[in-house]
Amino acid sequence: MNVINTITTILLCCVLYSCSNAQNKSVQKTPMGKKVLIVYLSRTNNTKAIAEIIHHQVGGDLVAIEMQKPYPADYKTTVAQVANENESGFLPLLKTKIENIDQYDTVFVGFPTWGMALPPPIKSFLRQYNFKGKTIVPFNTNAGYGIGSTFDTLKSLCAESKVLEGFSMKGGIEKEGVLLAIKDGVRKQAEMKVIAWLRKIGLNKKDNG
């Protein structure tokens, strides 16, 4: 009987250890904190398309950044205005307001590349709130010339935050009349790329649910 009791005790301990270990692994697989915020600036809706894909994968709140005085519809006029704003350091006033930014600890920030630089409205957004201790995740669309200095500028404006590896892909080419490019088959490709990126940085909630 003592042998049987001993074997039973050993098996019970093994089962309890396995359950405890499985629970620990489950906890470790949850990358998100309190709440996720996804904000984006999008002129041709390509960055918006990526924001929607991210939102579908991780959930949270999805918010478009809008200005009190929108940029002109004319492309060349907007390019000239943005160049002047970048040179002077002007920060446009935003119409978008985030209530209780403290409730979010993971913030996705999406934007196009404008003049190889971070768009002024994104600079306004990053300066308007306190992101200390938060996880910032940049994502970008561009006309094929890349991210320029956008990610570096974002990191400098979020010096007290944890900035994860960003995502970037080609979108529209407004100066050539190509506006929304991330649609149909291209959007399907974008979804696959976004999912792979989220998995790489450990933020795909569907994988961790």
**Over the chain, what HEC string results?**
CHHHHHHHHHHHHHHHHHHHHHHHHHHHCCCCCCCEEEEECCCCCHHHHHHHHHHHHHCCEEEECCECCCCCCCHHHHHHHHHHHHHHCCCCCECCCCCCHHHCCEEEEEEECECCECCHHHHHHHHHCCCCCCEEEEEEEECCCCCCCHHHHHHHHCCCCEECCCEEEECCEHHHCECCCCCHHHHHHHHHHHHHHHHHHCCCHHHHC
Q: Which fold has domain 37-203?
A: Rossmann fold (3.40.50)
pLDDT, tens digit, 9 for 90 and up, residues 31-78: 445 699 999 999 999 999 999 999 999 999 999 999 999 999 999 999
pLDDT above 60 for 11: no
pTM, full prediction:
0.84
Instruction: Say yes or no to pLDDT of 23 above 60.
Output: no
